[in-house]
Amino acid sequence: MKKNTKLAYAVLGIVFILFNVIAFAVPTDKTITFWIAYAFTVVAFALQIGIWIAAFKAAETLKSKFLGVPIIYVGIVYLVLQLIVFAVFMIFPLIPSWIVVMACALVLGISAICLISADAARDEINRVEEKVNQKVFYIRELQADVEMLEEQEQNPEIKTSLTKLAEKIRYSDPMSDEQLSDLDSKISTKVAELKTVSSKFEIITELNSLLDERNKNCKILK
């Protein structure tokens, strides 16, 4: 990843050098229009570094890094548009300076809005993914606890009941709702009770009932 980042910065540096060579090699008047457009374009180049850093901030997993790509894409589009705007004003250096300021500011403003939107979308995707992982972990943890009890159980009838209970948990809806937090807590408590009581039939029956209620409510709340 670091190697690719260094390569990207190297390419950006080369493009910046070429931009300056072309900007000052083309025989055109260096009016205030030229210098305003040039200043905005230099800012666009400098912002690329900040955009790339922001795109990969706290990106520890491959997916989180991938979600940063749209932010970089917006940044590159912004730079390309600014280069086009600069080229136009370099060719026509007598255009009034206020038009240059408005055009460059418009490109910068629209790009900033798109960057903020892309970053907000990335954060929302990460938030939803984290929430989903927590819910999936809750179901898997319950299933693992019941399966462990099933392996340790000596009574054939209870062992069969625990096997069926584990299957029901396995195929339960992993997603839940804040309104079901009390019900989820009751299920966790009952599974914990299974580890200490000698007669498990009653609790297994309660758990089956609670799971049926939970699955039904999950469907209703979707």
Asked whether residue 66 falls in the same domain as residue 164, the answer is no
- d(CA 112, CA 90) in angstroms, rounded, equals 24
Q: pLDDT value at position 110?
A: 93
Q: pLDDT value at position 178?
A: 66
Phi, psi of 82 (to 5 degrees): -65, -35
Is 90 exceeded by the pLDDT of residue 183?
Answer: no
Taking only the tens place, the pLDDT of each residue in 45-65 is: 999 988 888 777 655 554 555
Asked whether residue 122 falls in the same domain as residue 31, the answer is yes
Which three-class secondary structure state does DSSP give residue 104? helix
Asked whether residue 161 falls in the same domain as residue 215, the answer is yes
What is the token pair recorded at 12? 């950006």
Closest to 190 in 3D by CA, of 180, 204, 201? 204
Contact 79, 23 (CB under 8 A): no
pTM, two decimals, is 0.60
What is the residue-averaged pLDDT of the chain? 82
Asked whether residue 46 falls in the same domain as residue 122, the answer is yes
Asked whether residue 21 falls in the same domain as residue 119, the answer is yes
Is 90 exceeded by the pLDDT of residue 81?
Answer: yes
Asked whether residue 42 falls in the same domain as residue 116, the answer is yes
Tell me whether residue 205 is in a domain.
yes
Measured from the Cβ of residue 25, the count of other Cβ atoms closer than 10 Å reads 8
Tell me whether residue 144 is in a domain.
no
Tell me whether residue 71 is in a domain.
yes
Asked whether residue 101 falls in the same domain as residue 46, the answer is yes
Tell me whether residue 145 is in a domain.
no
Closest to 10 in 3D by CA, of 62, 42, 49? 49
Average pLDDT over residues 181-205: 81
- Containing domain of residue 189, as a range? 153-221
